[in-house]
Amino acid sequence: MGQYVAPIRDMQFVLHEFLKVEDQLKELPAHAETDADIINQVLEEGAKFTSEVLFPLNHSGDREGCHHDAQAKTVTTPKGYKEAYKQYVDGGWAALACDPEFGGQGLPVVLNNSFYEMLNSSNQAWTMYPGLSHGAYECLKEHGTDEQKRLYLPKLVSGEWTGTMCLTEPHCGTDLGLLRSKAIPNEDGSWTITGNKIFISAGEHDMSENILHLVLARVPDAPEGSKGISLFLVPKFLPNQDGTVGERNPIFCGAIEEKMGIHGNSTCQMNLDGAKGWIIGQPNKGLNAMFVFMNAARLGVGMQSLGLTEVAYQNALVYAKDRLQMRSLSGVKAPDKPADPIIVHPDVRRMLLTAKAYAEGARAFSSYVALQIDRELGHPDEEVRKEAADEVALLTPIIKAFITDNAWVATSEAMQVYGGHGYISEWGMEQYVRDARINLIYEGTNTIQSLDLLGRKILMDNGAKLRKFGEKVRAFVEENGTDEAMSEFVTPLGELGEKVGKLTMEIGMKAFQNQDEVGAAAVPYLRVVGHLVYSYFFAQMAKIALEKKDSGDKFYEAKLQTTRFYFARLYPETAMLIRQARSGAANLMALDADLF
C-alpha cells in the first residue's frame, strides 16, 4: 500500500541551512547543547519509527475504523494501534519536547515539529491520539496548579495517559459562547459537571490507561456568552494520590461518528453525567486557558496537512515514473517501451510540482514558526521573547488555514496523477484526500482563521505585527535587490509586500464604515498573506540554492527549479485573490436571503 520515506534531506536543509537552527538554539539556555548530531539522530530514528511502525497501519486503520461497544461503553481502536502506541511510549517519543521537570527530554519544539510531520505523513488518524495529549500538556503546564501539574503532567509526558479537548456541543461549534454544560462546586474544591459534548477526537479508546478530558462548562451565575466559560480537568478514571488510577468517572462515550476520513481516530459523543472535575485557572476565564491548547492544536493541524501533502506527493511521483501512457508531445522519451511514463507530460508535472512546492513551502514555514516558539519560550531577553510571541500569533492562523487549503489541492492533484486508479481505494490516494478535508474544518474553520488574522491579529492591532514581518521582507528585498540572479524571486516578493500593505489599509478604511467588509475580504486576504510568507521563504531558500548550485549536489538544482515553479505557477493567484478581496461586501450581501 504505497510508501513513505521521511524527507530527511529536505528537513536537514530547512533546519541546518535555511534556519541555521544550531546557532539559533545556542542563544537559548535550555537548548544550547542540542547540536546537529542530536538533531540528525532524532530525525533518523523518527523516520524509522514512523515508516516501519505507523505507516503500515494507515490503510488498514482507515478500512477497519473504531468500534464502539454501547453496553460496555468502550471504544476499540483498529488492529495494531494499541501496540504501536506502546512502542511510541516505550521509545520515549511522547516526552521528546516536554519539560525535564516532568520527565521530558527537553528537546526543542522545532525538532518535535519535524517529527510530527513524519507522524502525520505515516498516519494522521493515529497521530491525533498523542497530538491532543501534547496540547493538554501545554495547557496544564501553563494554567494548572502545582498540585495538578505534579499529579498529571508526568503521566501526559510519558504518554501513559492521553488528553482530549471537549469544547463542541450540538448547538455550538464556532460560537462557544452558546455552550450549556454546567459545573457545580463541591465542598472539597472539586466540581460536578453535566453536559453533552460532540465530535470529541480520541474521546474514548483503548490505547492508554487513563484519559484526561479538558472540558469547557459554565459555573453557576456565569455571565452569558464567551465571558462565562470555565475550563475543567475531568479524568476518565479519578487518580489516586500515588498516580495510580481509581474510580471510573461518569464521562462516557455515547456513540462514535461515522465520518468521511480519519477513520482510525474515534470521534466521540461524550456524555458527562455528574462527572467529577477540577477547575483549571480562574472561573469564567476558561477560554483564555483553552487558547493555549487551541493554538497548539492549530499548529498541529497545519502539520497534519503538511504530512499528507508530502506522502501524497511521494506516492504520486513513484506512480508517474512507472505508469506508461501516450507519447511525449515533444518526441518519444522511452523508445524501448510501448509508451512513455506519464511524468513526461507537462500537466502531470504541474500536478506533481504543485504538491512538491506546497510541501517544501509548508516545511520551511512551519519549522520557522516552531523555532520562533522555542525563542518565545526560552530566550533570555524579554524583548526577543515578546517579538517571537507576536510573530507566532500573527502566523498561527496562516499555518492552520493556508497549509490545510493547499493540502486539499495537493492531495487532490496527487490523486489525479493516478487517473482512475487514484479513485480506487486499494492505491491509498483517495484516503489522503478524505483525511485532508477535515483539516479545513476543525480547530476553528479556515474562515474563522481568516477572520482571526485580518480582524484580531492585524486590524485590531493597527497592523503592528504585520508591519514587523513586512520590515523583515523589505530588508531581505533591499539586501538582495541588486543581485541579478535573485531578481526573478526578489522582484515579485517586493511587489507583493507593497500590495499587501495597500490592501490592508484599504480594507481597514472600508471596515470603519461597515464591518462586513472584513468578513467579505478575510478569506482571499489570508491566502494573499500566505503567499507573501511563502515568497519570502522560497526566495531565501533560492539564495542558498544559488550559492551551492555548483557543489555537485543535485538537491540545490531541484530546490531552485521548485522555487521557479512556485513563482511562475502558484504565486500568480495573488492577482486574482487581491481583486476578490478588494471587490467589497456588496456583491455578497446585496442578494436578499429569500432570493438565494
Ligand X SMILES: Cc1cc2nc3c(=O)[nH]c(=O)nc-3n(C[C@H](O)[C@H](O)[C@H](O)COP(=O)(O)OP(=O)(O)OC[C@H]3O[C@@H](n4cnc5c(N)ncnc54)[C@H](O)[C@@H]3O)c2cc1C
- Applying CB under 6 A, which of residues 140, 156, 438, 581 lies at the interface with ligand X? 438
Cα–Cα dist 228/519, whole Å:
26
Q: Does 442 bind ligand X (CB under 6 A)?
A: yes
In angstroms, give the least distance from the CB of 398 to ligand X: 17
Nearest residue to 114 (alpha-carbon basis) of 35, 8, 22: 8
Q: Does 193 bind ligand X (CB under 6 A)?
A: no
- Applying CB under 6 A, which of residues 12, 121, 127, 168 lies at the interface with ligand X? 168
Q: Are 382 and 333 in contact (CB under 8 A)?
A: no
Q: Does 201 bind ligand X (CB under 6 A)?
A: yes
- Stretch (H or E) spanning 82: helix 81-90
Give the binding-site size for ligand X (rule: CB under 6 A): 20
State the binding string over 206-245 for ligand X (x if CB under 6 A, else -).
----------------------------------------
- Applying CB under 6 A, which of residues 3, 41, 174, 462 lies at the interface with ligand X? 174
SS3 232: strand
In angstroms, give the least distance from the CB of 575 to ligand X: 25
Based on CB atoms, which residue is closest to ligand X, 123 or 267?
A: 267
Q: Does 515 bind ligand X (CB under 6 A)?
A: no
Q: Is the four-CA dihedral 194, 199, 202, 204 of positive or negative sign?
A: positive
Which region, judged by CB under 6 A, interacts with ligand X, from 353-361, 401-409, 439-447, 494-502?
Answer: 439-447
Based on CB atoms, which residue is closest to ligand X, 23 or 258?
A: 258
- Applying CB under 6 A, which of residues 148, 416, 445, 491 lies at the interface with ligand X? 445
Count CB atoms within 10 A of the CB of residue 514: 14
- Applying CB under 6 A, which of residues 199, 402, 537, 565 lies at the interface with ligand X? 199
In angstroms, give the least distance from the CB of 446 to ligand X: 8
In angstroms, give the least distance from the CB of 170 to ligand X: 8
Count CB atoms within 10 A of the CB of residue 322: 10
- DSSP tally for the chain: helices H, then strands E: 18, 11
Burial state string for 270-283 with b = 16 or more CB within 10 A and e = fewer than 16:
bbbeebbbbbbbeb
Cα–Cα dist 317/313, whole Å:
6
Based on CB atoms, which residue is closest to ligand X, 153 or 216?
A: 216
Cα–Cα dist 130/293, whole Å:
13
- Applying CB under 6 A, which of residues 173, 195, 378, 494 lies at the interface with ligand X? 173
Based on CB atoms, which residue is closest to ligand X, 112 or 267?
A: 267
In angstroms, give the least distance from the CB of 594 to ligand X: 19
Q: Does 447 bind ligand X (CB under 6 A)?
A: yes
Told to judge if 443 belongs to the known catalytic residues of this protein, a careful annotator would answer yes
Q: Does 255 bind ligand X (CB under 6 A)?
A: no
- Applying CB under 6 A, which of residues 165, 270, 393, 528 lies at the interface with ligand X? 165
Q: Does 448 bind ligand X (CB under 6 A)?
A: yes
Which region, judged by CB under 6 A, interacts with ligand X, from 166-174, 393-401, 501-509, 575-583?
Answer: 166-174
Q: Does 462 bind ligand X (CB under 6 A)?
A: no
Q: Does 267 bind ligand X (CB under 6 A)?
A: yes
Count CB atoms within 10 A of the CB of residue 73: 14
Cα–Cα dist 269/170, whole Å:
10
Q: Does 162 bind ligand X (CB under 6 A)?
A: no
Cα–Cα dist 424/410, whole Å:
18
Q: Are 504 and 461 in contact (CB under 8 A)?
A: no
In angstroms, give the least distance from the CB of 26 to ligand X: 38
CA 257 vs. chain centroid, Å, equals 22
Which region, judged by CB under 6 A, interacts with ligand X, from 56-64, 110-118, 440-448, 484-492?
Answer: 440-448
Q: Does 589 bind ligand X (CB under 6 A)?
A: no
Residue the block writes with cell 493515529:
126
Q: Are 164 and 214 in contact (CB under 8 A)?
A: yes
Which residue type does 582 have? R
Which region, judged by CB under 6 A, interacts with ligand X, from 14-22, 160-168, 300-308, 588-596?
Answer: 160-168
Q: Are 126 and 435 in contact (CB under 8 A)?
A: no
**Grid cell of 351 as nine digits:** 500536478
Residue nearest to ligand X (CB): 173
Q: Does 514 bind ligand X (CB under 6 A)?
A: no
**Grid cell of 392 as nine digits:** 507566532
CA dihedral in degrees (163, 128, 115, 523; nearest 10)? -110
- Selected catalytic residue, list 204, 391, 443, 517: 443
Based on CB atoms, which residue is closest to ligand X, 225 or 481?
A: 225
Q: Does 259 bind ligand X (CB under 6 A)?
A: yes
Q: Does 549 bind ligand X (CB under 6 A)?
A: no
Q: Are 313 and 295 in contact (CB under 8 A)?
A: no
In angstroms, give the least distance from the CB of 261 to ligand X: 8
Cα–Cα dist 504/511, whole Å:
10
Q: Does 551 bind ligand X (CB under 6 A)?
A: no
In angstroms, give the least distance from the CB of 166 to ligand X: 6
Q: Are 452 and 398 in contact (CB under 8 A)?
A: no
Do the bridges between strand 245-248 and strand 67-69 make them parallel or antiparallel, or are there none, so unpaired? unpaired
What residues from 97 to 156 belong to the interface with ligand X (CB under 6 A)? none
Name, in order, each residue with C-beta under 8 angstroms of 508's C-beta and a sequence gap of 6 or more.
459, 463
In angstroms, give the least distance from the CB of 595 to ligand X: 20
**Grid cell of 383 as nine digits:** 524583548
**Grid cell of 428 as nine digits:** 491509498
Residues with a known catalytic role: 443
Which residues are near ligand X by CB under 6 A? 165-168, 173-174, 199-201, 259, 267, 438, 441-445, 447-448, 519
